[in-house]
Amino acid sequence: MGSPTIDLLKMELPVEEGRLHLNGDGVKTTGLVLIDVVNGFCTAPKVADMQISEMVEESVRIARLFCEKKWPVFAFLDTHHPDIPEHPYPPHCILGTDEANLVPALQWLENDPNATLRRKDCIDGFLGSIDKHDGSNVFVDWVRNNDIKLLLVVGICTDICVLDFVSSALSARNRGFLSPLEDVVVYSRACATYDLPLHIANTLKDTIAHPQELMHHIGLYMAQGRGAKVVSEVSFGA
């Protein structure tokens, strides 16, 4: 799909991107959610990817600033048992492999007291936070315990795991399950998705094309349509 076609679609499906400025008043009210910034999605691809590289860079910047301010951070890590496939996707981020670990630039989060890490074995992190034994939800508890009113969401893939999580969080908020949460904000430059051109998809069995720029935009558009705010800039200061 050529860029003129994508530009036309962006005109027909516009994403209104604003700016988010966070200051000292955000203590205990603003939380950061990082979605699947793991090696399997970010460092495993053999070809350099500018969109993914920028996503990692911005995610690391935001995470460091949150932790410096001692604001709460919740990180999802896509992790799958080798004998339990996640259809329709091929095996990925297998438990016990480096693919399921945070990218090197974020591994410090494992020892940061402000960070909560959750391995998930499904696309939607909200569902992946549910304890299979007692039905409790560690993400819901995190929101309540930290009195979070605004969620800033970053990660990969914009149109898959990010979108599903955002949609579930907003639905839970609307049903009153995520009090005191008020707003969910998606930071577009700190989100990314993968690229699978049509000519390559046609050579693979049971695989559909996934043009990166278009699907990233559609993910943001759908998140906006579900009630999320989309921003292209996040700044900190007094």
In whole angstroms, give the CA distance from residue 192 to residue 217: 10
Walking along the chain (238 residues) 10 residues at a time, the average pLDDT comes out as 80 96 73 97 81 97 96 96 85 91 98 97 96 96 96 98 98 97 98 92 88 96 98 91
Number of H helices, E strands in the chain: 8, 7
Question: What pTM, to 2 d.p., does this model score?
Answer: 0.94
DSSP label of 70: T
Amino acid in position 156: I
Could you tell me which residues are beta bridge partners of residue 152? 32, 185
Total Cβ atoms within 10 A of residue 232: 14
- Residue 88, pLDDT score: 81
- Residue 25, pLDDT score: 59
- Residue 135, pLDDT score: 95
In whole angstroms, give the CA distance from residue 226 to residue 208: 25
Determine the angle formed by the axes of helices 3-12 and 212-226, rounding to 10 degrees: 10
- Residue 1, pLDDT score: 47
- Residue 35, pLDDT score: 98
* Domain topology for 30-236: Rossmann fold (3.40.50)
**CA-to-CA separations, 216 to 55, 93, 184, 189, 233, in angstroms, rounded:** 12, 21, 18, 10, 16
